[in-house]
Amino acid sequence: MSSINKSYIQQLFDSICVEKFPSNFYFYFSGERSRFYRVNKSKLRQGTFVDQSKLTIWQKNENDENTFSIELIGDLKNDVELVKNALGDEFTQDVKIATTDECNIEENKTVNVEFLSTLIDSEDIVGILSEGSLQRGVIQGGTNNLKWFDCHRADIDYSIFRGDKCVKEFYSEKLISNEKLKNSLSENILKLNILSGERIELEPGLYPAYFSPSAVNEILSMFNWQGIQGKAFAEKQSVFMDLYAGARKLNKRFNLRENFKLNLSPIFNQEGEVSEEIIEIVKDGTLINPLVNSVTERKYGLKSNKADQYESLRSAELLAGTEPEKDLISKVRNGLYISNLHYLNWSSKKSASITGMTRYCCYFIDEDGEKHPIKDMRFNMSLYDLFGSWLQEFSSESQIFSDSNTYEQRHLGGAKVPGMLSSINLSL
């Protein structure tokens, strides 16, 4: 493992004389030492350790932006050369790939075999444990003020299958606790028992439904995709144009905010701008603040609230309601318990309509309160209905979900989300 850490990054920035750069340059570092244990049938399918350290230099001009990204290797001489090459003629010069003799190298830690022994051989467990450190740092040209964030995180993401029935679990902690994993497995094996019996096929139509926090979180993630971004509103691409214009509202129970007190992500963005700790986005069903960064401010004149590069939710909190989850579930008759959703997409931008599928541990609750596992169903519905007139109450309990995505790198951020009593419109 390379020993790239805060003091190395500080040293690198000193060596390239960041202080002498103009103030429209930003140097953004993201690194990780990750251990991935991929599991199928309760055994190790793939074990992969990854060490990576990426530096992105962002040049904000009056009318446009340039970015340059390189992979650091932990050899100061080499990495300084890489930065210089990256900043050469923007169109013609290739960044050289380094082969070096000078890297500072740390010993790799050994594997986490205790985690694997905790998995129960007699059950069919599939999923991934991702663990290790994550770092983010940023400094603006002309300054010597390095902003830094690092954490150690273990993401436990698994499903237990029995034939075509399954329960899914996801949680994060600083370091993996095998005791907690054992308890989590036992709890979920109990949940699997609820799913005994044949899966029933439901008729399309509107059903009352309790959405678990995980299902609500899946829908909330759609707000990051042409949802509440300043750029999406300015370019008329948002699904919430009517909400933005004040022509439509969500239910007054719907309150969404960025809450950096949750400590799920750095409070600074890729320019090193520090956000307010709380940003109210939707208050009592009314959109009051889209997420806006400095690029959108420059291009379209919306006021920046120091959002990140993609104007996405980094530390979202959907405010909880007043009734306990068990009371809300007990109100469902001839309706559904929705544990998880799958493959959401916008089916209509004008009406903020989503389509997607039910997945994993969803079941039908009949008029006597009996639970029946269902065959997965497609749904189509407008968020103005789901989070509007159909919405009865959010649960008083919330769950925190870290962002478990690992495209290119392990992601930071997450959301605190309650469950929800509303309805679902099944279509196929």
Partner 1 sequence: MIDLFKKVINSYVDSGWEISLAFKSESIRSLSYLNGKKENFNKSVSAGVMVSVGKNGKVFRQATPIIKGDYLKTLIDQGIKNFNILEPNFLSESSMSIHTGEVYDLSLEKPLLLKSFSDSLATSSSVNHKWIDFIRSSLSENLEERIIVNSQGGVFHDKKYFTDYYLDLMGSRDQLNQNRSNGGVVFQGAVDDSFLLNTLEKKESLTRELDLLLSASPCPKMVGDLLLPSDQMYIQIHESIGHPLELDRISGDERNYAGGSFVKKDDFGQLRYGPEIMNVVFAPSEKKQPVGYEFDDTGLKAADAFLIKDGILRAGIGGAESQKRLGVLGTSSTRNSSWNRPPIDRMGNINLCAGESRYEDMIKSIENGVLMKTNRSWSIDDQRDKFQFGCEIGYLIKDGEVKNVVRSPNYEGRTIPFWNSLKMVGDRNTVDDFGTSNCGKGEPNQAVRVGHQSPACLFSNISIFAGE
Residue 332: CB minimum distance to partner 1, A: 23
Q: By CB under 8 A, tell whether 249 contacts partner 1.
A: no
Of 15-23, 58-66, 322-330, 413-421, which segment contacts partner 1 by CB under 8 A? 58-66
- CA 316, 321, 326: angle at the middle one, nearest 5? 115
Give me the 129-148 binding string for partner 1, x by CB under 8 A, dash otherwise: -x------------------
Residue type, 391: L
Q: Is 86 in the site for partner 1 (CB under 8 A)?
A: yes
Stretch that binds partner 1, among 11-19, 131-139, 313-321, 405-413 (CB under 8 A): 405-413
Among 23, 186, 196, 427, binds partner 1 (CB under 8 A): 427
117 exposed, middle or buried (CB, 10 Å; 0-12, 13-18, 19+)?
Answer: exposed
DSSP string, 81-126: HHHHHHTS-TTTPPPPPP--S---BPPPPPP-HHHHHHS-TTSEEE
DSSP string, 122-136: TSEEEEEEEEEEEEE
# binding residues, partner 1 (CB under 8 A): 93
CB 380, min distance to partner 1, A: 8
Residue 305: C-alpha distances to residues 83, 242, 262 (Å): 30, 21, 18
Q: Note whether 40 binds partner 1 by CB under 8 A.
A: yes
x-or-dash string of contact with partner 1, 159-178, rule CB under 8 A? x-x----x-x----------
CA distance 168 to 107: 35
Q: Least distance to partner 1 from the beta carbon of 334, Å?
A: 22
Contact 71, 54 (CB under 8 A): yes
List the beta bridge partners of residue 208. Answer: 423
Which amino acid is located at 84 in the chain?
K
Binder to partner 1 among 23, 46, 186, 193 (CB under 8 A)? Answer: 46
Site residues (CB under 8 A) for partner 1, limited to 328-387: 342-351, 353, 355-357, 359, 376-378, 380
Q: Tokens representing 18?
A: 């960041």
Footprint (CB under 8 A) of partner 1, residues 111-130? 111, 113, 116-117, 124, 126-128, 130
- Per rule CB under 8 A, is residue 241 in the interface with partner 1? yes
> Please, how many CA atoms are within 13 Å of residue 47, restricted to the half-sphere of its CB?
8
In the complex with partner 1, the residue whose CB is nearer, 171 or 346, is 346
CB of 127 to partner 1, least distance (A): 4
Binding to partner 1 in span 261-320, by CB under 8 A: none
Task: Report residue 350 as tokens.
Answer: 């004008």
Which one, 64 or 187, has the nearer CB to partner 1? Answer: 64
Q: Compute the distance between CA of residue 233 and CA of residue 240 in angstroms, rounded to an integer.
A: 8
